Structure 1
């Protein structure tokens, strides 16, 4: 038992201090190495204290969550901010970006952002990912992006060994199956929206079945083009289809113009015929009513009615005959030089 003597000399026993222990250790191994050992021990102690201080706290960023493990077992998830833990490797922390939208690229790779904020892409070709066979046995080069978020960090870290690799394999398998069930023309033109929607739903269903803690946001198709070897033939086919669509649209436009015009002309003719029929009926009814009124008057006063009808008839007929000359018996007719039937012309030339 090691005892230390107090400066007062009363001989009271106290607990051994660190320096006494180091002195005993040094005395056993030689007084010549006492200085270097003290320095080494001090360095070790300082490093241990520094390690303990630095490993006792951590900061979680706003877009992250921290999964805390103690002796390898998960004990909780911490939100953004400053947190403390047991140092010396007893508590370990893994940071997971749960609030950040992540993406997986297929058929191309983004290398960064160049001058002017433009995205730069890798010149390497990834045809093993992008080349697909359609339902009509045509080859198509499809590039797409899967955007996702980590919904459960514990499941993402420990439910399966490589969740990101699993997501890539599932995405590629689903996209190949969907494209393989469609015609090449649909994939190149009108089928993009349908493909994106179906792919997103099926990828999410498979990831839920694996319980991987991943939530699919969107599946966006980028470039969908035929392979370079057959691109000229595809371009000719597309031009022919566009020409056909243009002619169909022009014909439909002509139909939309001509049919309303024909319908309007038909309605106008029907309306004119109906108006003419109504006019004839009304005129006939008026003539019939007039004749009936004259007949009633004629039955009451035949002579007067006869004279009135005679005079009315002359009043209607004579204006259309022209000039009428009444010559007495035995008199000569007017000379033809008078040209009585010629219309009178106004005088001109200053009153002559």
Structure 2
């Protein structure tokens, strides 16, 4: 029958109470003491569910103080189970927390450990453990070469504008400084690179930057940039600076190309002139040295000849004082020999007082002899012919002289 049927007790026939009194049977069911009343089960009451939740909370935080004896004993048993569950949950949470602390550091990396936001240590490669939520680990690659490119228009020392493009290669050598000392090491590097480059370019002229001064400029920029990085404590080591391009602005590039070409032509002309000078000057110096040697030899010859003539004159003077006639005749003969040896004409003095003078064309004979005698055999034959001709002429002269003598008799 319905719970609100007229003439009946509605409370005893409540379909949601399970056949018993809500305050007694339900309470006993909640406290673990069994249950009474009707066995007809229905949907749980909202008040009953709230009462169960309250009992469990009371068990967790000290038990049910307002219940009966049987209810108190049931609450004590529920509190013990809750503590066991809480311990298991705590152990699982601890295991999960400890497992979250394991991590691996690669061979190329270093780990910067922050404990509660403060630097603690730097860990090396390998398997590491740090307490989670307490330590914070920042991994930094200390071997990778990073590259920063910078390009800008700059003013040189001679008040010219040049477009310079450089590439900076750097390494995070100190992971602690790289992570903690500077907020943004890359930005600091970019600003320091521009400052160092402008300082070096501003102290150099345009010609050296565009031609042979690039390597010197790169070395100077690297040294200055490394000093800036050490001063800022960025932990960065500059591996190298490369000047990829250095040229005049695009608007005046053609004019600069003409200037460079003119300088190259000038240098080529200088090199050609230097090469010509190197070929002519040594020859001229050799000729001058030869002339000096010849003049010195001539001087020595003249001096030696003069000294010899002096010694010869003094020796002849001594002999002349001893035998004047003999020396006079000797000097006459030597003088005539010296004079006649250079004369192409020959005068022959015949014997027995003859007045005939015979002329021999020795100059033509000598010319004929000199024109065709280049070898030794031809020279010997010419001398032989001349000797035979001389003997024939002498024989004819003697015969003629003998004939004249006979006619005179």
Q: How high is the TM-score relative to the length of structure 1? A: 0.69
Q: Paired residue for 1:269?
A: 291
The alpha-carbon distance between structure 1 residues 340 and 77, as it changes in their structure 2 partners (threshold 3 A), is closer
**Residue 79 (1) aligns with residue 124 (2):** yes
Q: Answer yes or no: is 1:53 the counterpart of 2:99.
A: yes
Task: Show CA shifts across 1:49-100 (max 9, x none).
Answer: 5674364141331x332222333322212233x2321343433322222234
**Contact (CA 8 Å) 2:349, 2:357: kept in 1 or not?**
no
Q: Rg: which structure is higher?
A: 2
Equivalences for 1:57-72 in 2 at 5 Å? 57-61=103-107, 63-72=108-117
Aligned to 1:30: none
Counterpart mapping for 1:122-271 below 5 A? 130-271=152-293
Q: In terms of mean alpha carbon deviation, does 211-220 or 166-175 score higher?
A: 211-220
RMSD: 3.6
Cα offsets for 1:89-130 (capped at 9, x unmatched): 4333222222343321113xxxxxxxxxxxxxxxxxxxxxx2
Determine the C-alpha separation between the residues in 2 that align with 1:330 and 1:298: 35
Partner Cα separation in structure 2 for residue 97 and residue 339 of structure 1: 115
| Structure 2: unaligned runs, 5 residues or longer | 1-58, 61-76, 370-381, 386-409
Return the alpha-carbon distance in structure 2 between the equivalents of residues 174 and 341 of structure 1. 96
Cα 1:55–1:294 change in 2 (3 A) is same
CA distance in 1, matches of 2:259, 2:173: 45
| CA contact 1:53–1:87 (8 Å) conserved in 2 | no
Partner of 2:32: none
Secondary structure at the aligned position of 2:122 is classed as: strand
Higher normalized contact order (CA 8 Å, seq sep 6+, divided by chain length): 1
Secondary structure at 2:182 match in 1: coil
Matches of 2:322 and 2:100 in 1, distance apart?
Answer: 137
CA distance in 1, matches of 2:243, 2:303: 73
1-structure distance, mates of 2:336, 2:174? 112
Query: Where does residue 97 of structure 1 map in the other structure?
Result: 141
C-alpha separation between the residues in 2 aligned to 1:339 and 1:259?
A: 53
Instruction: Return closer, same or farther for 1:307/1:92 CA change in 2, 3 Å cut-off.
Output: same
- State the shift of 1:333 in Å: 5.5
Cα deviation for residue 290 of structure 1 reads 0.8
Map of 1:326 onto structure 2: 349
Q: Deviations over 1:121-160 (max 9, x none)?
A: xxxxxxxxx2333344443221101222333211111111
User: For residues 301 and 247 of structure 1, do their structure 2 counterparts lie closer, same or farther at Cα, with a shift above 3 Å needed?
Assistant: same
Deviation at 1:292, TM superposition (A): 0.8
Contact 1:70 1:91 in 2 (8 A): yes
Deviation at 1:293, TM superposition (A): 0.8
Report SS of the residue matched to 2:137: strand
Distance in 2, matches of 1:211 and 1:88, equals: 29
Q: Which of 307, 328, 335 pairs up with 2:329?
A: 307
CA change 1:332–1:301 in 2 (3 A) is closer
CA distance in 2, matches of 1:88, 1:225: 55
Equivalent-residue separation in structure 1 for 2:239 and 2:120 (angstroms) = 29
The structure richer in helix per residue is 2
Name the CA distance, whole Å, in 1 between partners of 2:363 and 2:210. 89
- Work out the number of aligned pairs and report it: 290
Q: Does 1:21 align with 2:85?
A: yes
Following TM superposition, by how much is the alpha carbon of 1:226 offset from its aligned partner in structure 2, in angstroms? 2.2
3-state SS in 1 of match to 2:347: coil
Distance 1:244 1:177 in 2: 31
For residue 117 of structure 1, what is the aligned residue in structure 2? Answer: none
Deviation of 1:272 (Å): 1.5
d(CA) in 2 for partners of 1:151, 1:226: 36
Given that 1:142 and 1:221 are in contact with CA atoms closer than 8 Å, whether structure 2 keeps it comes out as yes
CA contact (8 A) 1:69 1:76 kept: yes
The secondary structure found in structure 2 opposite 1:217 is: strand
> How far apart are the structure 2 equivalents of 1:272 and 1:339?
39
- In 2, Cα distance between the equivalents of 1:291 and 1:330? 38
Cα offset, 1:243, TM superposition: 1.2
Secondary structure in 1 aligned to 2:130? coil
